Amino acid sequence: MKLVFINVELSNEHLSSETPFINGNTENLTGNLTVFRLYSLYSTGQRHSGFLNLSATTGMGIGYEKTVLKKNNDLLMRRGVTGGITLLINWLLWDKLIIEFPVCDISFFLWKTGSLNGSLDGAVISFPSFGSVYFWINMGIRFAF
């Protein structure tokens, strides 16, 4: 099992250059992304080398996602319950420090409110309505219970 909580501010530079779903005038466009997911993971293969344990991992999860995009006094917001899958390479150092890279996270809305489709003061927003695809780098500490 893995619990993930991500809360990031989306800068104007990131939204202007890294997002194919936003066009037009992106000046002063900012946002926030919050993701909370609980995953059940399955390791598909492992390699051990001294202090390093490397494994290819896949998993299924359920969680909550909220995205807010703001420009001047306007905003678009989408939030909801998601189900999804994740594919990743897990690097475990000294049996405690976890680095997951690359991580592909594909989520689908089971229930949602709001939309990330519209216009914000000249910026045209057209995110897919089915869910999201993210590429992450995760870091954490392993606890054994």
**pLDDT tens-place string over residues 20-33:** 899 999 999 999 99
Q: Which two tokens stand for residue 98?
A: 């976890």
Question: pLDDT at position 66, please?
Answer: 98
Confidence at 125, pLDDT banded by 50, 70, 90 = very high
Across 45-58, average pLDDT: 92
Distance CA 138, CA 101 (A): 7
pTM here?
A: 0.86
Across 48-53, average pLDDT: 91
Distance CA 69, CA 65 (A): 14
Question: pLDDT at position 67, please?
Answer: 97
Q: Is the pLDDT of residue 18 over 90?
A: no
State how beta strands 29-49 and 22-24 pair: unpaired
In the predicted model, what is the mean pLDDT of the chain? 93
- CA angle 105–106–108, rounded 5-degree value: 140
Share of the chain above pLDDT 70, in %: 100
Per the model's pLDDT, the better-predicted residue between 57 and 144 turns out to be 57
Rounded to a whole number, what is the distance in angstroms from the first to the last CA of the chain?
A: 11
Domain that holds residue 129: 2-141
**pLDDT tens-place string over residues 67-95:** 999 999 999 999 999 999 999 999 999 98
**Count of domains for the chain:** 1
